Amino acid sequence: MKTWIYVDGLNLYYGCLKGTSCRWLNPRQLCTLLLPRHRIDRVKYFTARVFALPTNPDAPTRQDTYLRALRTLPGLEIFFGHFLSHTVTIPLAQPVPGLPALVRVIRTDEKGSDVNLASHLLHDGHLNHYEAAVVVSGDSDLLAPVRLVMEDLKKPVGVINPQKRTCWVLAKQASFYKHIRPGVLAASQLPPRLPTPMAPFTNPPPGSPQNSLRSPTAPRRYCPSPIGFPPQSAESSPPTLPPFLSPDPVAHGIG
């Protein structure tokens, strides 16, 4: 069955990738393993560009690395929403006597990815691009487009939920509903050597399953510290960064 995949990158990242060794994820391979009876024809990946913050200035570089890796996959397209950051005043959950009960914080919200995903799901269905669609997200806001495709276009729509908790409204509506198993994540990692127009990159993220595949005598290539990890050492630091670095894909924008 000709199937198109619609991936909510942020939902995927925060649902089952953040803090794991499986962040160098191949979403096409993931869906191939989870959907053996489907012919994966197209993968649409929805995310948003992160921006540098004083506490995380290298986030855009790491995100761009992962997105460049995704672009090496056949039949995968990337679509962008955007992040908005603003200062808000919120109350403390446990105010301290004698101190202010309100604090000002920086809140960053992602805008557009869910709307983009829903729009593409409906538009592609009306154009009869797919026989079946699969949404990789646990966001209940996607219930309406899933229902419209199923009821008005008479096409099956499955849901793969990256979240540990069950999204009951999607589970009840979808043609089928699955969670992502840790073993499938581990088996769906990008290869340690990725082709690029300039040169391949062979140094996978620290702790990833591919890390053991690199020869212990192979020269170590410089890559910046992923989020949440200490800086990596390097025998030598070249003047320019290689075509592929090993990121912690920020919010999977990242996925």
Tell me if 235 is assigned to some domain. yes
Q: Is pLDDT of 225 > 50?
A: no
Tell me if 140 is assigned to some domain. yes
Q: What is the mean pLDDT of residues 97-121?
A: 83
Least confidently predicted of 11-20, 153-162, 210-219: 210-219
pTM of the predicted protein model? 0.74
Q: How many CB atoms lie within 10 A of CB 79?
A: 18
What CATH number does residue 10 fall under?
A: 3.40.50.1010
Mean pLDDT over the full length of the chain: 78
pLDDT exceeding 90 applies to what percent of the chain? 49
Least confidently predicted of 23-27, 73-77, 102-106: 102-106
pLDDT band, residue 52 (cuts 50/70/90): confident
DSSP 161-208: E-SSS--HHHHHHSSEEEEPPHHHHHTTBPPS-B--SS--B--PPTT-
pLDDT of residue 4: 98
pLDDT of residue 109: 65
**187-208 confidence digits (pLDDT tens):** 999 987 787 666 565 544 444 3
Tell me if 31 is assigned to some domain. yes
Angstrom distance (rounded) from CA 187 to CA 176: 22
pLDDT band, residue 29 (cuts 50/70/90): very high
Burial class for 104, CB neighbours closer than 10 Å (0-12, 13-18, 19+): exposed
pLDDT of residue 238: 34
Q: What is the mean pLDDT of residues 40-46?
A: 97
Tell me if 139 is assigned to some domain. yes
pLDDT band, residue 110 (cuts 50/70/90): low
Q: What angle do CA 21, 17, 39 make, to 5 degrees?
A: 105
Tell me if 204 is assigned to some domain. yes
Tell me if 153 is assigned to some domain. yes
> Whole domain around residue 156: which residue ranges?
2-83+110-252
Q: What is the mean pLDDT of residues 9-27?
A: 91
Angstrom distance (rounded) from CA 132 to CA 130: 5
pLDDT of residue 84: 62
The domain total for the chain is: 1
pLDDT of residue 185: 95
Tell me if 97 is assigned to some domain. no
Tell me if 39 is assigned to some domain. yes
